[in-house]
Structure 1
Amino acid sequence: MKTLSNVTIIYRSILADITAASGKFSRLVWNQTNCIPTLYVIDAAQKTREFCIRWNTMTMCSLAKLPRWDGIEIMIAEINEYASACGTYLIFQQLPDYDADIFETVIADLEENIRDISNEQKLSTVVQNVLLKWKEFFSISSDLKFSLEKQQGLYGELVFLKEYIELSGCSAVYLWSGPNAEIHDFYIAGNAVEVKTSSKRTNTVIISSESQLDQSNVAGDLYLVFYSLRHSKVDGESLREIVSSIQQLLNNDLNVEKEFTQKLFKTGYLVEKGDLYLEKFTLLNTQRYLVSSQFPKIIRSDLKNGISSVSYSLDLAVCENYLIDSAYFEENVLKNGDINGY
């Protein structure tokens, strides 16, 4: 069953109590930890949401310093609707063409962070940090939902991560570099691993740049791990399910759990919105390749001046001479890395 955030529950209760076709309907909520009042507002006509925090303009940062993105309007205004909570408020307003679920997700994160501060002097910094985090998120993904291709790609990286954790321990999370916009998906004791997937009958993969299979930018060896998958709407394992299984392997290590959640966030995946990722995958086969100098590829040194950002298809059927077995890969790559030194 889907767990609703406190923010969603409040907005739904307001919607249920709307008694007119126009106007704004609101709830006042006092933070019991720091006594900061917040207002939850819904416009009856457009069904758009607002979230308002009492804001001391003398001590808080200026409006211009707050990070923002398309879909949310941020403003400062006086609100005197409630006698006990009159004053100046920072107002977050959902624009009409912006998804309510996205707005509520951002506000839920904001509300949770505000709830934890001890006094309003920290409010300005907390708000700035939360908004900056979400601005970065939406620079990666404009929506909460993933395409099939993006879900499949992330699933492949998580399959590798899970196998690595099971073999070497939960600190393997720190060696997952894909979410950090690194060239390769994993860096392990000087070696690098690139993960590719396909749910088609052919073992053809997309290489997204001239650097991705360039072993010259790796101190040790470069490996390509390929997962052949079956895709289904009803049968297999979803992103939410594999994320949950990895979380169970982390042994309640709060630092590693935080690292894992933050890296998922950088990919555009939200743990609390796992029900959005509905595609299911079944692992059919795994192939591992050593990307040597003779391995079929396009690298930077092959390109003429002025040519860059090359993307190409690679048929792995012609790469059989570079296959390595799982035992070799485990002994020489996964077990060879100093996982505690990251």
Structure 2
Amino acid sequence: MTTTEISDLWKVISVNTGVTTARRIDAEHPLDFFASYDEENRMQLLLISDILPVLPNSSKQILVRANPRNDGKFAICFSLTDSALKELFFSLTWDIMNCTYDISDRHVGINKAVSRFKKWQKMFAASKDKMSSTQVKGLIGELILLRDICIDKYGVKKAIEGWVGPLGTDQDFQFDDTWYEAKAVSASMDKVNISSFEQFESDKDGFLIVNRIENTSPLDPDSFTLKTLTQRIYDIISNDADLKSLFHMRLILYGYNETDDHYDESYKLIATEKYLVDEAFPKIIRSKLDASICDGSYEISIPAIQGWRIV
């Protein structure tokens, strides 16, 4: 199902004040998800569960409840309290259903759905915040990597499915044979920041992609904005509605909001540098640190890793 089809379900439900009304979202899904309105006429995602999972606390944007039913099951309810965020709520619904569609164990699927909701809850809390210029550049760097390297090598579907950085993974892109981490820096920058000890830790060789990006004039023939860059990828996806929905989910999870005025700034890609991150590549990894070291980040000198540069 697409987010449009999901949003249409709420439109056909009759709203009755004081009564919860619901409609099953997808009869073929292994879990029982319902689009509904709660007793106060708030949009609600409802999941019928035969176990009581550990639920997060409610937030200002979403009310979380587990209501016991007469049949011994539970109605896990996520009610949207801020109606201005309904488009984001449709995306949340689509993503939670999509990530649990192939589960073989209902209990595992229910816990996975709750875990995915927790990630979205953070996004809802930050939904009113604008992305910083650094975050915009970071997203641009990942989208350039998606467009210019991953789609060319793996095809559109596998490339977008492999873009897992917005889900909180250690690397931006993960595939069966390798992984990619994107870094966006200015043309003169001589170092990159590695945000965690886990970022370069893997049993597979991967690649560090350094995209050198600068602000430029809108009149520059090579200029682009974040909006035009995302639209180009939508155009590449063409008419695959499910894949467009997945790409849209990834953008939202990253923090993308089309109303942000940062997205109208013009940028220019100066150069893309590709480095092989193998066992010998200089890095700090969690497995080689003392257990007393809890967390940290570090910087890598770009001139010092030219021996690993591929292009």
Q: TM-score range by the shorter chain?
A: 0.5 to 0.7
User: Does the residue aligned with 1:273 lie in a helix, a strand or coil?
Assistant: coil
**Could you tell me how far apart the structure 1 residues matched to 2:38 and 2:176 are?**
50
CA contact (8 A) 2:274 2:309 kept: yes
TM norm structure 2:
0.62
Q: Does 1:294 align with 2:294?
A: no
Distance 1:256 1:202 in 2: 35
* Deviation digits for residues 177-210 of structure 1 (CA, Å, limit 9, x no counterpart): 2112111111223211111110251231100111
What is the aligned partner in structure 1 of residue 210 from structure 2? 226
- TM-score, with normalisation over the residues of structure 1? 0.57
1:267 aligns to 2:248 (yes or no): no
Q: Structure 2, unaligned stretches of length 5 or more?
A: 1-9, 18-36, 47-54, 64-78, 94-113
Give, in angstroms, the shift of residue 138 of structure 1. 2.9
1:147 and 2:132 are equivalent in the alignment: yes
Give distance in 1, aligned partners of 2:260 and 2:232.
13
Is 1:247 aligned with 2:234?
yes
Structure 1 runs not aligned, ≥5 long? 1-30, 39-52, 75-90, 95-102, 115-128, 326-342
**How many Å apart are 1:247 and its aligned residue?**
0.3
Find the counterpart in structure 1 of residue 289 from structure 2. Answer: 303
Which residue matches 1:314?
300
Distance 1:54 1:200 in 2: 53
TM-superposed deviation, 1:143: 3.2
Cα pair 2:91 2:249 within 8 Å, conserved = no
Distance 1:299 1:107, change over 3 A: closer
From the superposition, tell whether residues 203 and 133 of structure 1 become closer, same or farther in structure 2 (CA, over 3 Å).
Answer: closer
Could you tell me which of 142, 151, 157 is aligned with 2:142? 157
**Quick one: which amino acid aligns to residue 300 of structure 1?**
R
- Quickly say closer, same or farther: Cα 1:184–1:34, change in 2 above 3 A: closer
Q: What is the distance in 2 between the residues matched to 1:324 and 1:132?
A: 39
* Aligned position for 1:36: 15
Map 1:96-175; keep pairs closer than 5 Å.
Answer: 104=84, 106-107=85-86, 135-139=121-125, 141=126, 143-163=128-148, 164-171=150-157, 172-175=159-162
CA distance in 2: counterparts of 1:204 and 1:145, whole angstroms: 26
Task: Write the distance in 1 (CA, Å) between the matches of 2:118 and 2:129.
Answer: 17
- What amino acid sits opposite 2:250 in the alignment? K
Aligned CA-pair RMSD: 3.9
- Counterpart of 1:239, as a letter, is L
Q: Between 234-243 and 252-261, report the one with greater CA deviation.
A: 234-243
1: CA distance, partners of 2:184 / 2:309: 16
Against the structure 1 CA distance between its residues 113 and 157, is the aligned structure 2 distance closer, same or farther, given a 3 Å change threshold? closer
In structure 1, C-alpha distance between the alignment counterparts of 2:177 and 2:91, rounded to whole Å:
39
Counterpart of 1:209? 196
User: Structure 2 vs 1, CA of residues 166 and 34 (structure 1 numbering), >3 Å: closer, same or farther?
Assistant: same
Distance 2:244 2:11 in 1: 28
How far 1:290 sits from its partner (Å)?
1.0
Look up the SS of the partner of 1:324 in the other structure: coil
Aligned residue identity for 1:159: I
Tell me which of 40, 63, 69 is aligned to 2:59.
69
Asked if structure 1 preserves the Cα contact closer than 8 Å seen for 2:141 and 2:183, the reply is: yes
Tell me the alpha carbon deviations over residues 258-307 of structure 1, each in whole angstroms, 9 at most, x when there is no partner.
1111111211113x536552333211111111112332222224433311
Q: Any conservation in 2 of the 1:247–1:257 contact (CA below 8 Å)?
A: yes
Distance verdict in 2 for CA 1:166–1:299, change over 3 Å: closer
Tell me which residue corresponds to 1:197: 184
Task: Please state whether the residue corresponding to 1:174 is helix, strand or coil.
Answer: helix
Deviations 1:121-177 (A, max 9, x none): xxxxxxxx9x978524135x3534100111111110100111122454211111112
Give the secondary structure class of the aligned counterpart of 2:12: coil
**Offset from partner CA, 1:62-110 (integer Å, 9 cap, x none):** xxx997434x597xxxxxxxxxxxxxxxx9777xxxxxxxx63x04556
Tell me, in whole angstroms, the C-alpha distance in 2 between the residues paired with 1:203 and 1:262: 33
